Chains A and B, each alone.
Chain A
Amino acid sequence: MTAVRFGINGVDVADDVAPRTSLADYLRERRNLTGTHLGCEHGVCGACTILVDGEPVRSCLTLAVACDGRQIRTIEGFAADPVMTALRQAFHHRHGLQCGFCTPAMLITARDLIERGEAGSEAEIRRGLAGNICRCTGYTNIVAAIRDVAALAGGPGDAG
């Protein structure tokens, strides 16, 4: 076991973790943050995407011990975030989800694209979403939802 300390959704956490435990397994099994989903566990599907120090990462490919001293943010940690709130509304109104399994990570990636000002066109959004697989929707309504919010946001904002 290795001692780690990190922030999870703004709360400081100290824990002992087996070195081989992935960040996704740690968050889901030890912290009960089950909104982070595991679709492939080898970095392809993107369903486990979360933020570490404000950057989107694959939590299935990240070891929990490698996050010592860092800030982790999962789908459960965006309640007060205006861009996420707008994205949630837009996904709802645009029918941007069906089974819902890809949705939390899709939202985190979408928010990141908007925050970085890389959601300016459909092509840009589609390129930015290339790492998040959805098997239900065909993406059209996901892209439309992100375009709606990007148009409102109108430019890069504060990341993190």
Chain B
Amino acid sequence: MPDDASGIGASLLRREDERHLNGRGEFVSDIKLPGTMEIAFLRSPHAHARIRGITVPAEAKHRVFTAADLPRLKPIRVQTQAAGAKAPPWPPLATDKVRYVGEAIAACIAPTRAEAEDLAAAIGVDYEVLEAVVIAPRDMRGSRHPVHDGWGDNLFSERVFEGGDIEAASRAAEITIHREYRMNRQSGAPLEGRAVLAYRDWRLDEIVLYTSTQTPHTVRVAIGEILDIDLRRLRVVAPDVGGGFGPKARLYPEEIILAALALELDHPLRWVEDRAEHLLTSAHTRDHHYQVTAYADRQGQILGVDAEIVVDAGAYGLWPQGPYQEAAMAARNLPGPYQIANYRCRAATVATNKAPMGPYRGVGRPGACFAIERTIDEVARAVGRDPVEVRMLNMIRAEQMPFTTVGGMRYDNGDYPQSVKLCAELLDLPAVRARQRRGEPDGRLIGIGFASFAEQTAHGAAEFVSRGASIVPGFESCTARILPDGSLVLMVGIQSHGQGLETALSQIAYHELGIDPARIAVRHGDTESTAFGFGTFASRSMVMSGGAVARASRLLRDKLCQIGAHLLQCDPAAVRCADGVVQGPQGSVTIGEIAKVAHLRMDSLPPGIEPLLDVTATYEP
């Protein structure tokens, strides 16, 4: 069994560090392939316009590709089971219309990025500029030029969440407050932008696509479907990735376009997003509008909350989950850790002429947290009590656990009022209040705020099914392979981009097998070497990939014990696997010796045991 020096819970130095500290990390834009040509995209300067024509200089025709030049490009289309939700087609290169600033219109190919940008600047586009939809609450029911022709309105989806009796709460209220809150649009801004490198491997008859993504396997699935090529002909690799934070957990038009071009052209192609492109075109986030009415008694006990959430989701739905999850998660989390009995929330996801909305740290919930915590403070002000008292008054109490909120979220344990009380004590709240009353010598105003936030992580299948998701990222995988010398390779379907999973997953295998972490390799981010998995997002990889590593390691351990017992000529029930050996009553055999037998000396295997130490396991939470 593990010792404390390297196993779960030990603080190991990261094996990822050495390459980065020496400038030897390998990000997509660091990869050199002979003959690579650079791509720059011609992008729309308009939020909303019809394209009447595109003029490419005659001498540039074979180096500029528009949608008309790439008939293979089918639109990105999100599938959703959510009732009434609309899923507009999103052509990877714009066809008749552009719907946000930065939307790609043409791919321009040249030996250097600068020359490719020169090409893009030489293309003429005849735009008929349309009125842009930019204010979601105003334009959701309709606008002069809807974002998507034929919709009538600008609604991706709209749903009402209800619990209890909000009308009764309204009638019983001694205090009613109404507030409007806004959380602005943000960019994810990992320090490394997106980047894609694609080429055709003639020997293997495949397209190889290096891309700075959190989710190589699902990107591969989507590209295969859109370009109608077998997945056996498509390898997607996410090498070192310089931060993700959510925006890189989605499929992007550039990945599809470069894969399509690699099928057409006989040289590698590279596109490296610059920061302006990132800010314009990589997934945006937040952009929530809240109208919140709270009903309370004179003590500040909240009787009900009646809310409207409008999410400004941009022009299209990013694959796979589309634009819908922001509003739904915000609506379900708006009641927070409070025992609000009566609730109504109308949550709308609105199409606007902005970049598509995607996941970013917290997905939907930071907005909901902000809105409900502000509301608690406003109720406290209205009843003349300290917000800390009103917060504790309304919180789920420890003896009520497990507690399902009116938003449908289940709190399984914890003492929330006690946490607030401890915080207030640590801050010496009475002293802060006294200081506020005294005033600052320089006239500044001093504020103090409290907020509580419970984080959902490692969502299982049920969560995604409940959202109407078209793909259900409810498991992770690990292929664990002990090589003939007893060293171990873990091949996992996640992607590690700063989380240190190359180190942490090896600790889990060490915990199960006793193989020194220094003799364990963790491979991730490459569809060729790893079994299918969904990637790294929503704080899932340690739980789910970690679980898969543990299960695969246990399968190996069972086989090691069977072979080891045979070699030791004892009962398999009498051996145990620890510290890199299988220990029997009278002796031991190392994993290296067993591995040698499993690969090179099958004549020494016990009857009925197949060669190899190679297993694949999945894990779902």
Residues in chain A within 8 A of chain B (CB atoms): 18, 20-21, 25, 28-29, 32-42, 44-45, 47, 74-76, 88, 91-93, 95, 97-104, 107, 133-136
Contact = CB atoms under 8 A, between A and B. Distances in A.
A38 B29 contact: yes
B552 to A, nearest CB: 26
B403 interface: no
7 contacts: A34-B29, A35-B25, A37-B27, A38-B29, A99-B242, A99-B497, A100-B240
A34 B21 contact: no
A18 B19 CA distance: 31
B22 A75 contact: yes
Contacts of B497: 99
A97 B190 contact: no
Contacts of A75: 22-23
B234 to A, nearest CB: 26
Contacts of A136: 191, 243, 498
- Which of B14, B29, B192 has its CB near the most chain A CB atoms (within 10 A)? B192
A98 B500 contact: yes
A86 to B, nearest CB: 12
B16 interface: yes
B30 to A, nearest CB: 4
Interface in B136-195: 189-193
A45 B23 contact: no
A7 B476 CA distance: 49
B5 interface: no
Nearest to A40: B275
- Which of B20, B243, B245 has its CB near the most chain A CB atoms (within 10 A)? B20
B192 A88 contact: no
Given A32-B32, A93-B13, A99 B23 contact: no
Given A97-B17, A99-B241, A136-B498, A35 B274 contact: no
The interface size bin for chain B is: 35 or more
B21 A88 contact: yes
Given A20-B114, A38-B29, A88-B21, 17 more contacts: A18-B114, A32-B32, A35-B22, A41-B275, A76-B23, A92-B18, A95-B14, A97-B20, A98-B500, A99-B192, A99-B241, A100-B17, A100-B240, A100-B498, A101-B20, A101-B190, A103-B25
A88 B242 CA distance: 19
B79 interface: no
Contacts of B32: 32
A66 to B, nearest CB: 16
A132 to B, nearest CB: 10
A38 B30 CA distance: 10
A93 B11 CA distance: 10
A92 B242 contact: no
Given A34-B30, A91-B17, A135-B243, A39 B23 contact: no
A100 B242 contact: yes
B24 interface: yes
B192 A39 contact: yes
Given A135-B245, A136-B243, A104 B191 contact: no
B189 A92 contact: no
Contacts of B272: 38
B354 to A, nearest CB: 22
Contact of A92 (B13, B29, B245): B13
B191 A47 contact: yes
B499 interface: yes
Contacts of A40: 275
Interface of B: 13-14, 16-27, 29-30, 32, 112-114, 189-193, 240-243, 245, 272, 274-275, 497-500
B533 to A, nearest CB: 20
Given A92-B13, A107-B21, A99 B114 contact: no
Contacts of A102: 191
- Which of B112, B241, B243 has its CB near the most chain A CB atoms (within 10 A)? B243
A104 B242 CA distance: 12
Given A74-B23, A99-B241, A92 B192 contact: no
Nearest to A100: B20
- Which of A18, A34, A47, A134 has its CB near the most chain B CB atoms (within 10 A)? A34
A60 B25 CA distance: 19
Nearest to B193: A39
A41 B274 CA distance: 7
A25 to B, nearest CB: 8
A76 B20 CA distance: 11
A141 to B, nearest CB: 12
Contacts of B23: 33-36, 74-76, 104
Contacts of A74: 23
B495 to A, nearest CB: 11
- Which of A35, A36, A102 has its CB near the most chain B CB atoms (within 10 A)? A35
A29 B13 CA distance: 32
Given A32-B32, A101-B192, A104-B20, A37 B275 contact: no
Contacts of A92: 13-14, 17-18, 21
A98 B275 contact: no
Nearest to A47: B191
Contacts of A44: 275
A136 B500 CA distance: 12
A103 B21 contact: yes
A23 B241 CA distance: 23
A35 B27 CA distance: 10
Contacts of A104: 20-21, 23
Contacts of B241: 99
B38 to A, nearest CB: 9
B191 A135 contact: yes
B541 to A, nearest CB: 14
Contacts of A35: 22-25
A88 B190 CA distance: 23
B274 to A, nearest CB: 6
Contacts of B274: 41
Nearest to B499: A98
A104 B30 CA distance: 14
A38 B27 CA distance: 11
A126 B43 CA distance: 38
Contact of B242 (A33, A34, A37, A93): A37
Nearest to A20: B114
Contacts of B17: 91-92, 97, 100
A41 B25 CA distance: 19
Nearest to B272: A38
A100 B30 contact: no
